Amino acid sequence: MQSASGFLHEGRAYGLLAAAGLRVPRHGFIDGELRGKGPLPFSPGEPIVLKGIADQLWHKSDRGAVHFGPFDRAALEAEAAAMQTRVPEHPWIGGLVCEKVAFQKLSGLPTEALVSLKRDPDGGWLAVCGIGGLQADAWAALAPPLLWPIAFTTPEQALAELREHWLGRTWLGRQRGTTALTDEAKLLTFLQGLWRAVAALEAEGVTLLELNPVVLDSEGLPTALDGVGTLGGAQSPAVFPPDPTWYQALLSPRSLVLAGVSSRPGTVGRIILENIQTSQLPSGALRLIKPGSTEFLGLPCLDSVAQLAAAPTDQLILSLPAPQTLEAVEQLCRQGGGATVVYLVAGGLGDGADTEGLGQRLVACLEQHRRAGQWTPALVGPNGLGLFSPDLGLNTLFIPEEKLPLRAKPGHVALLSQSGAFLITRLSRRTELGLRAAVAIGNQMDLRCSDFLWGFGSDPAVQVVGAYLEGFAPGDLQATAQAARDLCATGRRVLLYKGGRSQEGMAAASSHTGALAGDHALQASLLRRAGVLLAERIEAFDAALAWLGAYPKGRPQAVAIMTNAGFESVASADLLTGPFRGSRLSEAETAALTATIAAHQLTGLVSARLPLDLTPMADEAAYLAAVELLLGTEADVVVVGLVPLTKRLDTVNPEAYGAFASALKTLALSSGKWVGVAVEGGPLYDDYRQGLRDAGLPLFLTMEEALEGLRVIATEM
């Protein structure tokens, strides 16, 4: 019997687990609809546990529905009848008789586990494993449970993490003064069984199976003593992918139409037009939609989107109020053509300003047409600030050029941002980045983060994706992780800052973009396992992006530090922990460094050791010689600290510091290793910094910033 209310009872849970090869107690029903026809698998007098199974009865012991005693069928039937009277509000399913499993315990240490298999609408199937028993909540605060996204974690990886968890250390005898209760082979077999069970749970429509406790029997086999769950529930929303031709139409359109251009300078549509006119679009590729006009500002005009049915465009930008935006999209869908991709500038569709359900109408329109297999445009936004595509110098941002001068510098970085402001501040701050594209994706009402990652994955020019997200579209978390994993499998990088992690941040994200931030722990676990580099601070994101913008390949683990200031050397040494370490010099390398120090008249001032403090007496030649030597050691990356206030460094003559920067970059390229520079000084040295950036070196304001960016990259799973 399966509950009409969606309750998965213990007897059914045992059957699903046993079918997956997992150890469950011997058991059988003595009454109710599930009463067995043959004898129960127990001997008279054998110790057993009788459990009262009733619909939605999750905590049996609290309601007097658990009984320990010897096996005596008549007595147990009477006890089951009594249990039924104790839970009158729960429809009775039957009395379940189970063997009383003798399990192993340790004095003062928890040995019971809680294991949960859950189908999350956004993250897919998850396994959660932590300390169980009656005090599971209290122990969770001390030893947080492990979270394993099934599609992105293997049983072997789960075992490696369980081995280091408090529970695993206890079970395997790795706690001080304990002996092993089981071994890794038995735990791996158990985990493999859980992974197998997921397929059966999915087929049965199970959404949650909670096993508490899971104990180790006398042979060390993990055994589920209790198991309940839920059936049915919300399914992941259906996704109807857009025509993949949207990607080229967005980044490299052959034709473009803009709606919403005013005669008044400084308006949103007018700024977008002025920016587009600086691009290298083909002659005659740009048109406007201007009701009642055939020409405006020297450009040909269409009366409405209806005319696009006969003269379609690659990209249509709608800089219109929300109601008119919706009407335009609905018209395109009705006429079955007109624009491959539509960029929606306006907000007020599906966000906090949408009080009329316009966003719901928009989504329903797209789903209706795609479900029926009818032509539908791909939409970016709404609430989108625009994009920058250096291949054509295409700038559709509604930021005037005097505020954000952009120059086409094609490269391997793609920037993706749910927040337009985040995107443009990155473009303003990191002018050295070579870009394939920079796109503000807005509210993800149609094209979602995963769609953009698939698009970038199809583009060989993209080697690094840097993304800022406040929330995932419904059902898009797992799709994003899958797209990221596929990107990373080809040697490319995905760097992400996820906003909206606190309750306050989630509320702000929801009101701003209509996005719910969701469970950060789940998102982080899923994305990290997919290979995504997660930055916990925006400054760390920027620093990691600077490194990857210069060096898309490689993973620094041994770091060589050289500076001309003692405080930088000391502070940097304190940061060489965790995923990377300070590199070491062999005796021969130390001797070579000693000779280099002498050759530059620094003997007695500089010690031949790492971190290397060259002191303010070192000039550019000393720096270059030391960098060349360090790049020949085990170091994966050399971080150069420059306090520019010393007279020995030429920070005034662009030719001098340009040559120094070019020489540093040449050393990096010839060695195949990374070189980055931190210049700690005030605005007086901004031109000096820019000269280093222009050479293609990652440039930082402090050594701490440089190392924080490296740490994000070095923690790659």
What's the pLDDT score for residue 141?
A: 81
For tokens 């049983």, what's the residue? 155
Give CA–CA dist 371/562, Å, rounded.
60
Mean per-residue pLDDT for 176-194? 96
For residue 313, what is the enclosing H or E element? Answer: strand 313-318
Q: Angle 420-429/538-550 helices, nearest 10 degrees?
A: 50
Residues 180, 216 contacting (CB under 8 angstroms):
no
For residue 642, what is the enclosing H or E element? Answer: strand 637-642
Residue of 14, 205, 17, 197 lying closest to 96 (CA atoms): 14
Q: Does the bond joining 556 to the residue before it have cis omega, within 30 degrees of 0?
A: no
Give CA–CA dist 480/486, Å, rounded.
10
Residues 43 and 188 in one domain: no
Last residue of a domain, one of 99, 133, 155: 99
Q: Please, which residues bridge with residue 460 across strands?
A: none
The first and second tokens of residue 636, run together, are: 């994966």
**pLDDT for residue 18 is more than 70:** yes
The reply to whether 186 falls in a domain is yes
Give CA–CA dist 447/456, Å, rounded.
13
Residues 701 and 563 in one domain: yes
What's the pLDDT score for residue 139?
A: 79
Kindly report which listed range (3-17, 276-290, 312-326, 597-611) carries the lowest average pLDDT score: 3-17
| pLDDT tens profile 63-88 | 999 999 999 999 999 999 999 999 99
Q: What is the CATH number of the domain that holds 119?
A: 3.30.470.20
The reply to whether 288 falls in a domain is no
Q: Please, which residues bridge with residue 28 across strands?
A: 97
Backbone angles phi, psi at 265, to 5 degrees: -60, 150
Mean per-residue pLDDT for 363-380? 95
Number of domains in the chain: 3
**pLDDT for residue 309 is more than 80:** yes
Residues 547, 710 contacting (CB under 8 angstroms):
yes
Mean per-residue pLDDT for 485-501? 92
Give CA–CA dist 544/535, Å, rounded.
8
What's the pLDDT score for residue 161?
A: 97
| pLDDT tens profile 666-711 | 999 999 999 999 999 999 999 999 999 999 999 999 999 999 999 9
Give CA–CA dist 238/584, Å, rounded.
54
- Give the mean pLDDT of the chain: 93
Residues 160 and 82 in one domain: no
Query: Could you tell me the strand order of the sheet in which 256-259 lies?
Result: 295-296, 299-302, 286-289, 256-259, 313-318, 339-344, 378-380
What's the pLDDT score for residue 515?
A: 37
Mean per-residue pLDDT for 444-454? 96
The reply to whether 319 falls in a domain is no
What's the pLDDT score for residue 126?
A: 96
What residue type is 701 in one-letter code? L
Last residue of a domain, one of 99, 126, 142: 99
Give CA–CA dist 666/659, Å, rounded.
10
Length of the chain equals 717
Q: What is the CATH number of the domain that holds 625?
A: 3.40.50.261
Mean per-residue pLDDT for 6-25? 95
What's the pLDDT score for residue 514?
A: 37
The reply to whether 267 falls in a domain is no
Which structural domain range is residue 691 located in? 553-714
Residues 622 and 689 in one domain: yes
Q: What is the CATH number of the domain that holds 60?
A: 3.30.1490
| pLDDT tens profile 626-673 | 999 999 999 999 999 999 999 999 999 999 999 999 999 999 999 999
Longest dimension (CA), the chain: 100
List, in order, residues 6 or more apart from 136 with CB less than 8 Å away.
Answer: 114, 130, 212
What's the pLDDT score for residue 4?
A: 55
Kindly report which listed range (25-34, 231-240, 477-486, 487-496) carries the lowest average pLDDT score: 231-240
| pLDDT tens profile 272-307 | 999 999 999 999 999 999 999 999 999 999 999 999
Residues 30 and 95 in one domain: yes
The reply to whether 44 falls in a domain is yes
The reply to whether 176 falls in a domain is yes
What's the pLDDT score for residue 488?
A: 96
| pLDDT tens profile 518-544 | 488 899 999 999 999 999 999 999 999
Residues 211 and 118 in one domain: yes
Residues 172 and 223 in one domain: yes
Residues 179 and 214 in one domain: yes
What's the pLDDT score for residue 409?
A: 87
Residues 583 and 703 in one domain: yes
Cβ-based neighbour number of residue 34 at 10 Å? 17
Last residue of a domain, one of 68, 99, 130: 99
Span between the terminal Cα atoms of the chain, in Å: 44
Residues 280, 286 contacting (CB under 8 angstroms):
no
Give CA–CA dist 465/495, Å, rounded.
6
Q: pLDDT grade, residue 33 (50/70/90)?
A: confident
The reply to whether 462 falls in a domain is no
Residues 121 and 183 in one domain: yes
The reply to whether 17 falls in a domain is no
What does the CA dihedral 279, 285, 289, 291 come to, rounded to 10 degrees? 130
What's the pLDDT score for residue 237?
A: 63
The stretches of 65-165 forming alpha helices (DSSP H) are 73-86, 136-142, 155-164
Residues 612 and 704 in one domain: yes
Mean per-residue pLDDT for 590-602? 97
Residues 32 and 89 in one domain: yes
